[in-house]
Amino acid sequence: MKIVDIHHHVGSLAHLMGWRRGLGGVEEEQASRVEAMDAAEVEKAIVLPAAGYTQADGIEDTMRVNDAMAAYRDRDPNRFPVACGTVEPLHGERSLDELDRMRDGLGLRGVVWHHRFQCVPIDAGIMRPLYKRAGELGLVPVIHLVSTSHMEAPWRMERVLQDFPEVTFVALDGFGDGDHARIVLEMGKRNPNVLFDTALYNMGPGFLSTVVDAIGSHRVMLGSDLYAQPSTIMPTAGTLVELVRRAGISDADKDNILGLNAKRVFGLE
């Protein structure tokens, strides 16, 4: 079984979060990432842009980020077969054109938002045309649900899921703490058009069994929230792989979570 991690960020939040800056060159950064993947038995990773990049040149900065994501994928398509990009809601209609370019010009397969860094809530009116266009283009909308952000609250996500039932969304970081995880799971029960990853998970293997019983293993994917530097986001991919293996679920369920769902959702061969 080839393990796929759907939640690898490329770039740095150092200027936002007060962390030390990351590795200088792409080659060195990618080598560090592959080393971490090998240690966790992860065969492939889906790469996502880091949120919070500077935008002195507006949408041109966003376009450069998306170009960089495609280039990162192309440096090692065996280990990083899928790259996603982003667009900024505050760039308005120009972001619609960028979604077209992301798919048709760059071959990106998803669009990622981290709303607490992009200064609008998940269910903002300005987001609705972006969700609609992403769905029409077949770009997977990937949305963060960090428990500490009101902009990323589950009830906001639920409004979007209900307004776009024909679009399949991926929610990241939803199982990060007890109460929040249970609220997110209840949202998932009511809305079949969303899958979840395991990033920031700290609930133990028993809760993973509860999730699978409630919504099915076909709606959970391995995700570690890895930044190459700093590489201290916990739990690590290796910890999460072991969590899945220890959970009281079937081997078929484990295969779904560790790779098959990612291949299906993101079109991996």
Given phi > 0 = left and psi -120 to 50 = alpha, else beta, which region is 58? left
pTM: 0.93
Q: Kindly report the number of other CB atoms within 10 A of residue 77's CB atom.
A: 11
Q: For CA atoms 46, 51, 54, 57, give the dihedral sign.
A: positive
Is 50 exceeded by the pLDDT of residue 22?
no
pLDDT band at 85 (very low <50, low <70, confident <90, very high): very high
Question: Is residue 14's pLDDT more than 80?
Answer: no
The tens digit of pLDDT for each residue in 202-215 reads 888 999 999 999 99
The residue extents of the domains of the chain are 3-266
Q: Residues of the chain with pLDDT > 70: what percent?
A: 93
pLDDT of residue 15: 44
The larger pLDDT score, comparing residue 20 to residue 118, is at 118
| pLDDT tens-place string over residues 221-243 | 999 998 855 455 457 889 999 99
Average pLDDT, the chain: 91
Position 43 scores a pLDDT of 97
Q: According to the CATH classification, is domain 3-266 in 3.40.47.10?
A: no
Q: 97-151, pLDDT tens digit by residue?
A: 999 999 999 999 999 999 999 999 999 999 999 999 999 999 999 999 998 899 9
Average pLDDT (246-254) is 97
pLDDT at 229: 52
Confidence of residue 23 (pLDDT cuts 50, 70, 90): very low
Whether 180 shows a pLDDT value over 80: the answer reads yes
The reported pLDDT for the residue numbered 37 is 93
Residue 16 has pLDDT above 50, yes or no: no
Residue 62 has pLDDT above 60, yes or no: yes
The answer to whether residue 196 scores a pLDDT higher than 80 is: yes
Q: Please tell me the predicted confidence (pLDDT) of residue 24.
A: 55
